[in-house]
Amino acid sequence: MNYTDGYTKTCGLIGNPVKHTMSPLIHNSLASLTGINMVYVPFEVKEKELKNAVNGAIALDIQGMNVTIPYKTDVIPFLEDVDPLAKAIGAVNTLVRTKNGGFKGYNTDMTGLFHAMQDEGIELKDKTVVILGAGGVARPTAFLCANKGAKKVYLLNRTYEKAVDVAREVNEALESFDIGEKVVPMKLEDYTKILDTNEHFIAIQCTSVGLFPDVNSAVIEDKEFYKNVSSAMDLVYRPLETKFLKLARRAGAKTFSGLKMLLYQGIDAYELWNQDEGVKISKEQADEIYRSLMLDVAGATNIILEGFMGSGKSTVSELLADRLRMELIDTDAVIEETEGRSINEIFETDGENSFRDMETELLDAICSDHWREFVISLGGGMPVREENRALLRKIGKVVFLKASPETIFERVKNDNNRPLLKDPDPQAKIIKMLADRISFYEDVADIVVDTDNKTPEEITAEIIEKLGL
């Protein structure tokens, strides 16, 4: 929660709708990371109220604004000044207060997309780019690609006339920057003509097709299209892997969601609002915000490691929490601490059932108190109860660390603190218990990671990769 007082700098977002925006998460987290006394608030503005909203923001001494759909172009007449790049593409998404008390408009969608591409290692120089869509975000995307050295930019749109208009306007803007005409408008269905050239290209998906809940659609469904795609970026980031990205990945392309663009357009805006304080966001800070965005979009609020004893949960959860800079909860340790006795003692005095009740109670508390962004190392028997599995599904992404009975026996044979292994034939007990539990582990798992013959570091890296973190 950001601290506010009479000195708090206020920034915000105007648009319609704004209810599902992720910008407050970005900016309020940045404020807390950089120690700036600032809050960020979304404002839903009705169409007729745009001018009043801008003047009202000035009157209320609001220091910075983001502008989103449908006002990125309409807001320009109400600004004191516009940055030349934003003027060239005819759209702004960031307003910064001027010395005279008005607002100057910038386009950090474009700079954000460029930073995201740099971060992902997408090189535009001398490349052919195919942009799908000719709406608000396709325009800065086309300008950026041409301005950063792409050889040719094809702009494909369902409504051909719009592609023609946008291509003409972007080519005119490029001319004012002494760059030749590079943007070629096309009808969406004419993509086959590009395939005929046999050239490999970067494909950037700028339509709203595939956006949640329309997750089973791609603007081009033909698998042939994806064969020549070297890199594919979808500016839609909800879901993280759209159908367009799935098709591209399956055809062998490198794929990137639009979430990094969202991150960097926010970071660029934040730096503009705080330029007098000399604020520059480091890569580590950017990565930290990105992880929160990923967790938010993926709907995973926690990462939960489950598996049989000896599967590596404790070591791997520590490494994972360290790598992701998340806090760690070990459910066995929490129960031992709250009870003031060891699990061995709880088993001996109260019996296994009481211990299982304590586990359920703890999961219930995590769920109802909305604990977020923890790595949770789970007691080995927790997923056996159905009600526990239902709770686990609610609180995060579950990772099943799988190990063979032989590996488990090797890892735990000298450990005397395992009450369930106090058996004349522990190896046979492991085989039986594992057979009894495996279907429960698999049932609740979002991902499964085989841990046999792997180091804890390798397992950690595999989890991060599989969860796309």
Catalytic residues: 72
- Based on CB atoms, which residue is closest to ligand NAP, 58 or 211? 211
- Residue 428 has a CB neighbour count (10 Å cut-off) of 12
Coil, helix or strand at residue 240: coil
State the nearest-atom distance from the C-beta of 11 to ligand NAP, in Å: 17
Piece in contact with ligand NAP (CB under 6 A), picked from 207-215, 271-279, 325-333, 355-363: 207-215
Residue 322 has which token pair?
């360290």
User: Residue 137 or residue 398: which is nearer to ligand NAP going by CB?
Assistant: 137
To the nearest whole angstrom, how small is the minimum distance from the Cβ of residue 282 to ligand NAP? Answer: 21
Read off the tokens for 359.
Answer: 């586990």
Of the pair 289, 434, the CB lying nearest ligand NAP is at 289
Does residue 11 touch ligand NAP according to CB under 6 A?
no
Using CB positions, name the residue nearest to ligand NAP.
135
Of 157 and 231, nearer to ligand NAP (C-beta) is 157
**How many residues touch ligand NAP (CB under 6 A)?**
25
Residue matched to tokens 């508390």? 365
Smallest distance from ligand NAP to CB 38, Å:
21
Q: Please state the closest distance from residue 30 (CB atom) to ligand NAP, in A.
A: 16
Cβ distance to ligand NAP smaller for residue 211 or 464: 211
Which residue of 22, 164, 184, 211 would you call a contact of ligand NAP, by CB under 6 A?
211
* 303 near ligand NAP, rule: CB under 6 A: no
Give, to the nearest 10 degrees, the angle between helix 259-273 and helix 23-34. Answer: 50
Q: Which is nearer to ligand NAP, 97 or 238 (CB)?
A: 238
Instruction: Name the residue among 142, 283, 112 with its Cα closest to residue 204.
Output: 142
Beta-sheet pairing, 103-106 with 94-97 = antiparallel
The amino acid occupying position 375 is: V
Burial 135-157 (b: 16+ CB within 10 A, else e): ebbbbbbbbbbbbbebebbbbbb
Kindly identify the residues of this chain, within the stretch 110-169, that bind ligand NAP according to CB under 6 A: 133-138, 157-159, 162
Binding of ligand NAP at residue 18 (CB under 6 A)?
A: no
Residue 40 near residue 27, CB atoms below 8 Å: yes
The pattern of x and - marking residues 348 through 387 that bind ligand NAP according to CB under 6 A reads ----------------------------------------
**Window 39-78: contact mask with ligand NAP (x via CB under 6 A):** ------------------------------x---------
SS3 34: helix
Q: Least distance from C-beta 109 to ligand NAP, angstroms? A: 5
Q: Which of 298-334 are b and which e, b meaning 16 or more Cβ less than 10 Å from the residue's Cβ?
A: bebbbbbbbbbbbbbbbebbbbbbeebebebbbbbeb
Residue nearer to ligand NAP on the CB measure, 88 or 134: 134
Comparison of 143 and 400: residue with beta carbon closer to ligand NAP: 143
The verdict on 24 binding ligand NAP (CB under 6 A) reads no
**Measured from the CB atom, is 103 or 264 closer to ligand NAP?**
264
185 lies in the site for ligand NAP, by CB under 6 A: no
Least separation, in Å, of the C-beta of 180 and ligand NAP?
Answer: 25
Which residues, including other chains, have CB under 8 Å from residue 283's CB and lie 6 or more apart? none
Q: Which of residues 233-252 bind ligand NAP (CB under 6 A)?
A: 235-237
Close Cβ partners of 274 (under 8 Å, ≥ 6 residues apart)? 34, 36, 38
Among 218, 253, 261, 321, binds ligand NAP (CB under 6 A): 261
- Asked if 187 interacts with ligand NAP (CB under 6 A), we say no
- Does the footprint of ligand NAP cover residue 262 (CB under 6 A)? yes
For the four alpha carbons of 164, 170, 173 and 174, in that order, the dihedral sign comes to: negative
Q: How far apart are CA 39 and CA 386, in angstroms?
A: 42
Site string for ligand NAP, 433-462 (x = CB under 6 A): ------------------------------
Strand partners, 43: 14
Among 45, 65, 92, 209, binds ligand NAP (CB under 6 A): 209
Q: How many CA atoms lie within 13 A of 52 on its CB side?
A: 7
Non-local (6+) Cβ contacts of 282 within 8 A are none
Question: By CB under 6 A, is residue 109 in contact with ligand NAP?
Answer: yes
CA distance 222 to 378: 44
Q: How far, in Å, are 167, 331, 358, 436, 442 from residue 379 at the CA level?
A: 59, 6, 11, 16, 15
Q: Give the span between the Cα atoms of 208 and 222, in whole angstroms.
A: 18
Q: How far apart are the first and last CA of the chain?
A: 24
User: Quick one: which of 39, 219, 272, 324 contacts ligand NAP (CB under 6 A)?
Assistant: 219
CB 10, min distance to ligand NAP, A: 23
Q: Which residues pair with 45 in a beta bridge?
A: none
396 binds ligand NAP (CB under 6 A): no
Q: How many residues does the chain have?
A: 469
The residue ranges that bind ligand NAP (CB under 6 A) are 69, 109, 133-138, 157-159, 162, 206-209, 211, 219, 235-237, 258, 261-262, 265
